[in-house]
Amino acid sequence: GDSVTQMEGPVTLSEEAFLTINCTYTATGYPSLFWYVQYPGEGLQLLLKATKADDKGSNKGFEATYRKETTSFHLEKGSVQVSDSAVYFCAFQSGGSNYKLTFGKGTLLTVNP
């Protein structure tokens, strides 16, 4: 069935380190892919998206590329900041009339100064 597998956390990095959080998905058809972020005490916020193969989503220095051949959507950032500490969720939406999001388990990122 439909599922998302993302890197288990927690991930702890020093400020300015490079970040990669791996995400792969199993879905029928051609889903849209998302990364959501949840900062402490807040709701989930859309971080970036990609709607078709080879699209690159980017926001706030984060990037992820829709790789259909490997069914992956890995999140990267070249230089993390303390303010990036949050839980990151990879998700997809199958599209058509099906709006529901299928999420991974989330990855807790802590960035130390």
Positions that interact with other proteins (CB under 8 A): 4, 32, 36, 41-46, 49, 51, 89, 91, 93, 98-106
Which CA distances in Å does 26 have to 3, 37, 73, 108? 5, 21, 12, 22
7 or 79: CB nearest other proteins: 7
Task: List the beta bridge partners of residue 32.
Answer: 93
* Token digits of residue 33: 């892919």
* Token digits of residue 57: 């989503």
CB of 63 to other proteins, least distance (A): 18
60 or 100: CB nearest other proteins: 100
32 or 84: CB nearest other proteins: 32
CB of 32 to other proteins, least distance (A): 6
* Token digits of residue 113: 């100064």
